[in-house]
Structure 1
Amino acid sequence: MTVQASERSEAAARPGQGRWHVLRRFKRNQNGATIIEFAMVAGPFLMLMMATFETALMFWTNQVLDEALTRTSRRLLTGEALARYANPATQAADFKRDLCANAPALINCDRLWIDVRAYTSFSDARTKTAASSPVSGGNLNVGGFGYSQPQAEQIVVARAVMEYPVLLTGWSGSLANIGSNKRAIVASTTFRAEPFNTPAAPAT
């Protein structure tokens, strides 16, 4: 008689003992332990990887938008904007077009808004800019955005706001700030315009 046959005979002879014998064998068996351990950590690991990737991509997009705004705003700094954005009806659209040309990747111009304001002092610029935040109460607030043509030596505040989709970390809500799975990416620059010459108004 083999050992296994002997164990079965002993289990049959002692009703109720076979169940505990199987449990003891299961406790000692290490087969499949690696797969079970991997399954326990795979979910949190993948979630962490997705959060890291999306956060990095979001910061990269913000950097691209900030750089594009800075480059485009040089026209405001030097006075070139007076001639380039001379038509009041298309000033905002023309400035936005130039900004998008300076940021061909990552920027969705269909979900982009710009605001250019000119002030007489830095304190005035700080107060009025703070009062018109593009993110208010968890919503995107760009209703007051527009374009005001800066003149020589004025304080200029240029802002660009893009609605950015949060796809991989929507389950956490930590990156969204304007509703479900959306974040407002904001770039801004403030400077004093150079003392450029304002072109004379055309004769009537």
Structure 2
Amino acid sequence: MFNTGLGIITPRLMRTWHAYTADRRGIAAVEFAMVAAPFFLLIFGLLEVCILFVISTIMEHAVAEASRQIRTGQAQENGFNEQNFRTSVCERFMGMLDCDAKLHIDVKALSGFSAANIDMPIDNDGKFDDNGFSYDPGGPNDIVAVRVFYEWSLMTPFMTAPLANMAGSKYLVQANAVFRNEPFGD
């Protein structure tokens, strides 16, 4: 028997203890458990940034295509209102975004290209502010600014916190189109 200062340990218990501490079969599982959480957070954060890029690209395409109806005068001649324009934008989202209260549209005829407002409509509390939003597609040869915003809720707020530009771990995706209407209706 051995005296370890903690009491007497039998040789059999000592052999069992040495066998237990020498066993390395589960070390990979333990190491993976320690690394898994940060690894998956990093992967999910990267995926979310990629998803935001795809959503931004889809919105830019949808706004460009829907705005073409305004630019060519089809929207004005067919009596499009904001709801019709919203439907035209939403048809081009390919099912990736919902056309609910998170989608905001602002269409305005401008006095010149320099009058286009490209600021984010976020108030001091980090909430969306649609004061002054309207739907005015203008007439022939008018300069028109189309702004479309979508409130995206971040899925991994811990990793993507620097992306959040709104309260509640949200990111405001914006797509713009500024153009001069064609001389339609002649």
Report what 1:107 is aligned to. 97
TM-score (norm 2): 0.82
- Among 144, 167, 171, the alignment partner of 2:132 is 144
Aligned length: 177
Q: State the Cα distance separating 1:18 from its structure 2 match.
A: 7.3
- Among 132, 140, 154, the alignment partner of 2:142 is 154
Report what 1:70 is aligned to. 64
Any unmatched runs of 5+ in structure 2? none
1:57-79 superposed Cα distances (whole Å, 9 cap, x missing partner): 12211211111110000011111
Q: Structure 1 runs of 4+ off > 4 angstroms?
A: 16-19, 24-29
Quick check: which one's helix share is greater? 1
Distance 1:171 1:18, change over 3 A: farther
Distance 1:144 1:17, change over 3 A: same
CA distance in 1, matches of 2:61, 2:51: 15
- Among 154, 165, 188, the alignment partner of 2:176 is 188
Report what 1:134 is aligned to. 121
Q: Aligned-pair RMSD on alpha carbons?
A: 2.5
Whether the aligned pair in 2 keeps the contact of 1:161 and 1:185 (CA below 8 Å) is yes
1:27-71 superposed Cα distances (whole Å, 9 cap, x missing partner): 765343222211121111110111112221122112111111100
Report what 2:30 is aligned to. 36
1:84 and 2:78 matched? yes
Q: Which has the larger radius of gyration?
A: 1
CA distance in 2, matches of 1:70, 1:147: 16
- Among 108, 116, 136, the alignment partner of 1:117 is 108
CA distance in 1, matches of 2:35, 2:69: 53
TM-score (norm 1): 0.75
Q: Which amino acid aligns with 1:184?
A: L
Whether the aligned pair in 2 keeps the contact of 1:85 and 1:95 (CA below 8 Å) is no
Q: Which amino acid aligns with 2:103?
A: L
CA distance in 1, matches of 2:115, 2:6: 86
Identity %: 28
1:46 and 2:40 matched? yes
Report what 1:170 is aligned to. 157
